[in-house]
C-alpha cells in the first residue's frame, strides 16, 4: 500500500491524511486471481492455499509438499528466493513469487485450492488506565495480577527493546507452555518473544508504531513519563496489562505490511502459544471472508483459543468504512479520553477560546496581537513578506506536510503565532500535532468564532495565546473522533461492527529514541491502532482471572458490560457532538472492571462459526476458512447471521415480528436470577421470552427468544434499542439494531 508521512504525523494516520493513496489491489475472482489481468512475464508475490499432505507430517514434510507445487521453471534457481513463507497453522499453504504463466501451471496441480495476490495492509499511556478505572495497588487491576501469566502477541513494526516500558521488574517468568524465541537487543520476563518475519530484516522498530502499541497493551510502570520529556502529559506510564508478557512479531517495515508477512506472524504466534493477538492493521473493507487471508488465519488462532483483537480502521466518518469485520474478530473503534493538552486564546472582547497545544512554553507574556484571517490564505499558505509580522494567523488545519513546513517558515519570519481550527469533518475532535510553541489547535466551531471576530472591528480583533499544560477531567469524554471507521459491515450483514470503543485519540505511550515520524522516549499519536491494544490489554486482564474462558466468552464480557454514557452522564457523542450511534461505538465504551465479572456470557464455538460460514459462503468457504475436514456443510446446521449467538442483535426492520434466539451461560454466582429490561424507541416493539432466567449453578445455559417488529419508520435507515438481563449484581446489556429494508446492509429478513 502506498503511504506517506511527515515529521509529526504518525504512520497510523495515513488513511486520514492521504485516503486516495491508501490503495491496494486484489482481484475479486480469488479462485483464478489472474484470469482477467493482462498476462505478464514479471513475477509477483502470491499467497497460495493447498490441501494439507495426506499424512500427519512434520514441518519439513509440509515444506516439501509445498515445494512440490512450484513450477519446473524454478528448478534452475533457489526455491528459497521465490518461496517466501510456508504455513501450517493458519492454513495449509505458502507465499511465493510467480509469473502469470507459473500461476496458471500451479493452479492445474492436484491439491491446489486458491491463490491471493500478496497485498499490503495499513498500520491503522500515562492516563488511559486511570480513565478506564484502573488504579495501581487497588481493585480489579490488583486482583487480576496486572495480567500476570498472560502472553499478548502483537503483529506490528517491531519494538525498541531497550525502552524502560519493557523492563521486567515485578514481572513473573513466562509460563512453561511458551515455545517462542526472542531475538531482540534485550529479552527478559517482559519481552519474551521477538521475531522478524520480513526477509533480510533485523528485529527492531524504525517506525515507532509497534513500540507504542505494545507498551499500551502491556508496558511496565515508568515514572516521570511525558511527551518528549517536556512535561506535557506527565505522570506514570503503564500499559493496560503491565504484568503480562509481550511477544512481538515484526511484520511491517518501511511503512508497509505485506499480507504474507502478517500471515507468517500469525503462524509463529499460534505455534509459540500466545493468549491474545493484537493487530493494529487492516486492509480491504469489502473482501469476502474466504478472500481475506487475515480473516482465514485469525480463524485458526481463534479455533486454538486465542482471542484476536483488530483495529476498525481509520477511514471514518464515512459509513460502511469498517475493516476487520469477521465475527470471530474483536473489532475496536477509537474514542477520546478526558485529558487535554490545554492551550487557548484570550480575545480582546473578553471571550476565551479553549484549545490544545502539544508543545507549550513554561511562561508566556500576556501581550495581545492582532488576529489575521484570509480566505485566500485559509490553509496558511502565506508568504514571508505578506504582512504577517507580529500577528496571530487563523488557519484551517490540513494535517499536511506542506502546511507544517509553511507554519514553521511563517513563525520563523515573525508571525506572533498560529491558531489552527479543525476542518468541518474533524469537528470538535482535535488530533494534536507537534508544530512549535506558537501554535494552538481549536475546534471547527471555535474556528468559525475566530473568523468572525477577525473580520470584525471590535477591540481591533486582538488576542493573546495562553498555555495551561495538561488538564484532566475534560468533558464530555469519550467522544468518537472523525477518523474512526464506522459500520455497518458490508460483508457481515446481520453482525454489528465495530464491536467496542476504546481510547485512541492523542494517546501517550513509548517510542524509540528517534524515528522519521517522531522521537522518544514517549510520543503522542492517534488512531484505531492505539485503541486496539487497550482492548488487548483488557482481554489479558480477563484471561488472567478466567484462564478457561473462550475467545467468544471474553469478547461477550467486554461488550455486554460496556459504558453507553459519557463523563457527563449523557450519551456518547461523535466528532460533531451529535449522539453517537452503534455504528460509531459498537456496544459501547470498554469498562475493564465490569468486564471481568459480567454475570452472563454469550459463548460461541468453532462449530457455531462453521455453521455461519456455511450459511454465508457454502462448502467452498468452509473448506477455505475452517481447517477441520470432519466439518462439512452437509453435517452442520446453517446458522443465519442474525441467529449467531453474538452478544449484539441486528435484524431487519419489518412490521412482521422477527424472532431470534440467544443462549447465555451463567459465569456468576451459582444461584442467580435475571429479569429482562428492554429499552426501545416507540417505532420498535421488542418482546422477550421468557422474561426471567433462573440459574442454579455456574456454567448453566439458558436460551431465550427475542421478537422484534417495527412500525412508523420514516427516513431512518436503522433504529436502536437494547436488551438487558438484570440481577442483583449484574447488568448484561446487548444493543438491538433494526435495519430498514431501504438500507443497503439490511439483513435477510428470512433466516
Q: Which three cell numbers stand for residue 344?
A: 487557548
Question: In this structure, are strands 649-652 and 439-442 parallel, antiparallel, or unpaired?
Answer: unpaired
The residues that bridge with 673 in the sheet, in sequence order, are 694
The residues that bridge with 466 in the sheet, in sequence order, are 344
Of 3, 62, 100, 156, which one is the catalytic site residue?
156
Residue 281, SS3 per DSSP: strand
CB 163 within 8 A of CB 520: yes
Query: Cα–Cα distance between 715 and 717 in angstroms, integer?
Result: 6
Quote the crossing angle between the two packed helices 528-545 and 551-560, to the nearest 10°: 110
CB 540 within 8 A of CB 240: yes
Q: Which three cell numbers stand for residue 546?
A: 478466567
Q: Is 275 a catalytic residue?
A: no
Residue 130, SS3 per DSSP: helix
CB 523 within 8 A of CB 509: yes
CB 553 within 8 A of CB 456: no
Query: Cα–Cα distance between 629 and 514 in angstroms, integer?
Result: 50
Query: Cα–Cα distance between 446 and 419 in angstroms, integer?
Result: 10
Of 517, 526, 529, 740, which one is the catalytic site residue?
529
CB 726 within 8 A of CB 473: no
CB 730 within 8 A of CB 593: no
Please measure the distance between the N-terminal and C-terminal CA atoms of the chain and give it in whole angstroms: 38
Query: Cα–Cα distance between 322 and 528 in angstroms, integer?
Result: 11
CB atoms within 10 A of CB 243: 25
CB 522 within 8 A of CB 509: yes
Instruction: Give 729: exposed, middle or buried? Use CB within 10 Å, 0-12, 13-18, 19+.
Output: exposed
CA angle 496, 501, 504 (to 5 degrees): 135
Of 209, 534, 546, 730, which one is the catalytic site residue?
209
Q: Is the dihedral of CA 711, 714, 716, 722 positive or negative?
A: negative
CB 275 within 8 A of CB 306: yes
- Using alpha carbons, list the distances in angstroms from residue 290 to 52, 90, 327, 601: 17, 13, 13, 28
Q: Is 340 a catalytic residue?
A: no
Query: Cα–Cα distance between 40 and 359 in angstroms, integer?
Result: 52
Residue 179, SS3 per DSSP: coil
Report the C-alpha dihedral over residues 631, 637, 638, 644, rounded to 10 degrees.
-100
Q: Is 363 a catalytic residue?
A: no
CA angle 593, 597, 601 (to 5 degrees): 125
The residues that bridge with 718 in the sheet, in sequence order, are 739
Query: Cα–Cα distance between 38 and 51 in angstroms, integer?
Result: 28
The half-sphere exposure of 408 on its side-chain side, counting CA atoms within 13 A, is 11
Query: Cα–Cα distance between 543 and 413 in angstroms, integer?
Result: 56
DSSP string of 184-205? Answer: SSS--SSEEEEEE-STT--SS-
Query: Cα–Cα distance between 418 and 460 in angstroms, integer?
Result: 18
Mind telling me the catalytic residues? Answer: 156, 209, 529
Amino acid at each position: 500500500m502506498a503511504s506517506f508521512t511527515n515529521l509529526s504525523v504518525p504512520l497510523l494516520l495515513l488513511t486520514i491524511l492521504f485516503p486516495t493513496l491508501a490503495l491496494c489491489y486484489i482481484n475479486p475472482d480469488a479462485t483464478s486471481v489472474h484470469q482477467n489481468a493482462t498476462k505478464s512475464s514479471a513475477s509477483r508475490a502470491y499467497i497460495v492455499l493447498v490441501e494439507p499432505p495426506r499424512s500427519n507430517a512434520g514441518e519439513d514434510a509440509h515444506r516439501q509438499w509445498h515445494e512440490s507445487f512450484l513450477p519446473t521453471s524454478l528448478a534452475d534457481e533457489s526455491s528459497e528466493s521465490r518461496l517466501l513463507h510456508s504455513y501450517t497453522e493458519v492454513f495449509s499453504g505458502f507465499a511465493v513469487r510467480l509469473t502469470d504463466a507459473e500461476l496458471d501451471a500451479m493452479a492445474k496441480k492436484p491439491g491446489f485450492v486458491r491463490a491471493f495476490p500478496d497485498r499490503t495492509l495499513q498500520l491503522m499511556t500515562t492516563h488511559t488506565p486511570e480513565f478506564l478505572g484502573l488504579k495501581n495497588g487497588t481493585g480489579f487491576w490488583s486482583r487480576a495480577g496486572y495480567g500476570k501469566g498472560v502472553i499478548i502477541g502483537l503483529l506490528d513494526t517491531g519494538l525498541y527493546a531497550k525502552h524502560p516500558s519493557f523492563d521486567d521488574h515485578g514481572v513473573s517468568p513466562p509460563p512453561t507452555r511458551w515455545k517462542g524465541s526472542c531475538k531482540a537487543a534485550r529479552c527478559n520476563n517482559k519481552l519474551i518473544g521477538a521475531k522478524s518475519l520480513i526477509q533480510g530484516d533485523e528485529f527492531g522498530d524504525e517506525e515507532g508504531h509497534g513500540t507504542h502499541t505494545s507498551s499500551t497493551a502491556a508496558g511496565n510502570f515508568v515514572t516521570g513519563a511525558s511527551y518528549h520529556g517536556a512535561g506535557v502529559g506527565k505522570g506514570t506510564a503503564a500499559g493496560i496489562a503491565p504484568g503480562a508478557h509481550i511477544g512481538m512479531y515484526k511484520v511491517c517495515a518501511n511503512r508497509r505490511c505485506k499480507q504474507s508477512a502478517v500471515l507468517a506472524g500469525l503462524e509463529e504466534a499460534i505455534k509459540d502459544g500466545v493468549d491474545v493477538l493484537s493487530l493494529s492493521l487492516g486492509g480491504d473493507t469489502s473482501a469476502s471472508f474466504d478472500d481475506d487471508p487475515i480473516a482465514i488465519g485469525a480463524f485458526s488462532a481463534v479455533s486454538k483459543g486465542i482471542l484476536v483483537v483488530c483495529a476498525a480502521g481509520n477511514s471514518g466518518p464515512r459509513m460502511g468504512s469498517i475493516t476487520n469485520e469477521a465475527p470471530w474478530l474483536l473489532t475496536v473503534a477509537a474514542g477520546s479520553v478526558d485529558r487535554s493538552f490545554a492551550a487557548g486564546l484570550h480575545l480582546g472582547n473578553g471571550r476565551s477560546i479553549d484549545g490544545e497545544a502539544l508543545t507549550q512554553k513554561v511562561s508566556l507574556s500576556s501581550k495581545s496581537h492582532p488576529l489575521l484571517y484570509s480566505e485566500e490564505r485559509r490553509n496558511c499558505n502565506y508568504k514571508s513578506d505578506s504582512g504577517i509580522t507580529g500577528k496571530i494567523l487563523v488557519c484551517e488545519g490540513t494535517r499536511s506536510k506542506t502546511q507544517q513546513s509553511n507554519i514553521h517558515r511563517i513563525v520563523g519570519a515573525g508571525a506572533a503565532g498560529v491558531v489552527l481550527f479543525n476542518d468541518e469533518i474533524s469537528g470538535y475532535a482535535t488530533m494534536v500535532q507537534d508544530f512549535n510553541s506558537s501554535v494552538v489547535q481549536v475546534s471547527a466551531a471555535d474556528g468559525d468564532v475566530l473568523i468572525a471576530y477577525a473580520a470584525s472591528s471590535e477591540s481591533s480583533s486582538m488576542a493573546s495565546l495562553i498555555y495551561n499544560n495538561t488538564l484532566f477531567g475534560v468533558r464530555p469524554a469519550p467522544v468518537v473522533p472523525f477518523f474512526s471507521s464506522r459500520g455497518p459491515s458490508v460483508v457481515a450483514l446481520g453482525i454489528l461492527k465495530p464491536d467496542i470503543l476504546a481510547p485512541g485519540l492523542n494517546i501517550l505511550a513509548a517510542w524509540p529514541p528517534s524515528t522519521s515520524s517522531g522521537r522518544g522516549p514517549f510520543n503522542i499519536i492517534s488512531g484505531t491502532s492505539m485503541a486496539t491494544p487497550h482492548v488487548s490489554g483488557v482481554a489479558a486482564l480477563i484471561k488472567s482471572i478466567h484462564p478457561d474462558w473462550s475467545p467468544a466468552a471474553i469478547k461477550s464480557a467486554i461488550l455486554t458490560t460496556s459504558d453507553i454514557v459519557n463523563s457527563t452522564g449523557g450519551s456518547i457523542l461523535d466528532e460533531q457532538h451529535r449522539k453517537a450511534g452503534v455504528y460509531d461505538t459498537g456496544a459501547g465504551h470498554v469498562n475493564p472492571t465490569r468486564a471481568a465479572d459480567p454475570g452472563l456470557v454469550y459463548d460461541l464455538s468453532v462449530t457455531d462459526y462453521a455453521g455461519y460460514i456455511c450459511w454465508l459462503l457454502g462448502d467452498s468457504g468452509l473448506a477455505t476458512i475452517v481447517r477441520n475436514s470432519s466439518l462439512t456443510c452437509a453435517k452442520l446446521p446453517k446458522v443465519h447471521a442474525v441467529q449467531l449467538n453474538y452478544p449484539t442483535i441486528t435484524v431487519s426492520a419489518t412490521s412482521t415480528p422477527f424472532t431470534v434466539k440467544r443462549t447465555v451461560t451463567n459465569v456468576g454466582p451459582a444461584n442467580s436470577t435475571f429479569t429482562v429490561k428492554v429499552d426501545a424507541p416507540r417505532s420498535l416493539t421488542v418482546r422477550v421470552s421468557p422474561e426471567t432466567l433462573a440459574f442454579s449453578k455456574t456454567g448453566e445455559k439458558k436460551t431465550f427468544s427475542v421478537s422484534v417488529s417495527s412500525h412508523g419508520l420514516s427516513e431512518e435507515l436503522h433504529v436502536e434499542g437494547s436488551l438487558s438481563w438484570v440481577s442483583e449484581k449484574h447488568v448484561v446489556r446487548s444493543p438491538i439494531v433494526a435495519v430498514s429494508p431501504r438500507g443497503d446492509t439490511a439483513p435477510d429478513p428470512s433466516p
